[in-house]
Amino acid sequence: MRLARARVCILALLGGWLALAACNTKRGETIVVGSKNFPEQALLGEILAQRIEARTHLRVERRFYLAGSYICQQALLAGRIDTYVEYTGTALTAILHDPVESDSGDVFKRVKQEYASRFQFEVMPSLGFNNTFAIVIRGEDARRLHIGTLTEAARYSSQWRAAFGYEFMERPDGYPGLARVYGLKFAAPPRILDLGLLYRALLDKQVDLVAGNSTDGLLAARDLVILQDDKHYFPPYEAVPIVREDILDRYPEVRDAIDELAGKISNAEMQKMNYAVAGEGRDTSEVAREFLREKGLD
């Protein structure tokens, strides 16, 4: 009877789908390393991956250029990736939804604790650099006026023009708060420029002050100076590898591999690597390999 046939069809479909879903487990001894979708993240992901490949017998699968923190977090939760590098400040506000803090030790401790209790993720020690916002001026201005901190620069702000990216202008912990804390008053309202054009405008003297990231490649390659955030306005964004606890339990050698990266990348070194990839167009895995070799970690 038709009905019997219908039942068979439906059961077959269900069975097929369940069987497929059950197959949804990774092949044997594989670790999946993820990264967000900008060159620095791909570099860090590649460094993690190569380290694990060098130090353990595990196969590493790369899942880079995931579009943002939320996606990486979801992928980590679902086990689709096993590790990626996050920034402590981002983890604190965007993922844990905790209020902003500026003491880097506190932030690290809090993130480590909550990641363990809420998600069973292990926050590994910082890789050594702080990719926070950088307020940048030309080197010649810094030397001429003898300024090195934002407080000192604030005195000259009324004579300067500034340019920022759209997000920095809009974020409450971006320009509005910065202007308030340091008493910045520019000659005219800051221009909003595409991120890629900010440094160009600065170097061409169309503007005198911009906000970038402290590990931007151009900072290593041009005569640009980061003004020190002496009032600690910006929250810390230390780069920390996040790893699923169950992976560390299953493969303890992964912990050792990542531990040895702690503190090995300085801000300047990150800038240099970023410039090599974004500025010189070199291959990401090559740059990562070179770095590891220099550090004796390959």
Q: Name the residue with tokens 């790369």.
A: 62
Residue 4 engages another protein in binding (rule: CB under 8 A): no
By CB under 8 A, is residue 78 in contact with another protein?
Answer: yes
The region of 17-25, 99-107, 159-167, 256-264 touching another protein under the rule CB under 8 A is 17-25
Q: Which member of 9, 116, 187, 268 binds another protein (CB under 8 A)?
A: 9
In the three-class reduction of DSSP (H, G, I as helix; E, B as strand; rest coil), residue 31 is classed as strand
When the beta carbons of 6 and 145 are compared against another protein, the nearer one is 6
Interface residue with another protein among 53, 55, 61, 290 (CB under 8 A) is: 61
The sign of the dihedral angle between the CA atoms of 252, 253, 258, 259 is positive
Contact window for another protein (CB under 8 A) among 3-11, 222-230, 248-256, 271-279: 3-11
By the rule CB under 8 A, 214 interacts with another protein: no
With binding defined as CB under 8 A, does residue 188 bind another protein? no
Task: Out of 75, 179, 203, 262, name the contact with another protein by CB under 8 A.
Answer: 75
Please identify, among the stretches 66-74, 132-140, 162-170, 195-203, the one whose residues bind another protein according to the rule CB under 8 A: 66-74
CB of 10 to another protein, least distance (A): 9
Tell me how far, at minimum, the Cβ of 199 lies from another protein, in Å.
22
Task: Give the helix ranges, DSSP H, for the chain.
Answer: 2-22, 39-55, 69-78, 88-90, 104-114, 139-145, 150-154, 166-170, 175-182, 195-203, 217-221, 245-250, 252-259, 267-274, 284-294
What is the CB-side half-sphere exposure of residue 254 using CA atoms within 13 A? Answer: 26
Among 63, 161, 191, 264, binds another protein (CB under 8 A): 63
Q: Stretches 44-52, 68-76, 162-170, 287-295: which one binds another protein (CB under 8 A)?
A: 68-76
CA dist 64 and 25 (Å) reads 19
Does residue 87 sit in helix, strand or coil?
Answer: strand
- Is residue 31 within 8 Å of 251, Cβ to Cβ? yes
Phi/psi for 258 (5° steps) reads: -75, -35
Letter for the amino acid at 156?
A: Y
DSSP-derived 3-state class of residue 275: helix
Q: Helix count (H) and strand count (E) of the chain?
A: 15, 10
**Least distance from C-beta 23 to another protein, angstroms?**
6
For another protein, which is the closer residue by CB, 76 or 258?
A: 76
DSSP state of 60: E
Q: Is 72 in the site for another protein (CB under 8 A)?
A: yes
C-alpha 166/C-alpha 195 separation (Å) is: 8
Q: From residue 29 to residue 48, what is the string marking binding to another protein with x (rule CB under 8 A)?
A: --------x-----------
Phi, psi (degrees; rounded to nearest 5) at 137: -130, 170
Q: Does 66 engage in binding with another protein (CB under 8 A)?
A: yes
How many residues belong to the site for another protein (CB under 8 A)?
A: 30
Contact 13/19 with Cβ under 8 angstroms?
no
CB 145 within 8 A of CB 224: no
Interface positions with another protein (CB under 8 A): 1-3, 5-6, 9, 13, 17, 20-21, 23-24, 26-27, 37, 61, 63-67, 70-75, 77-78, 80
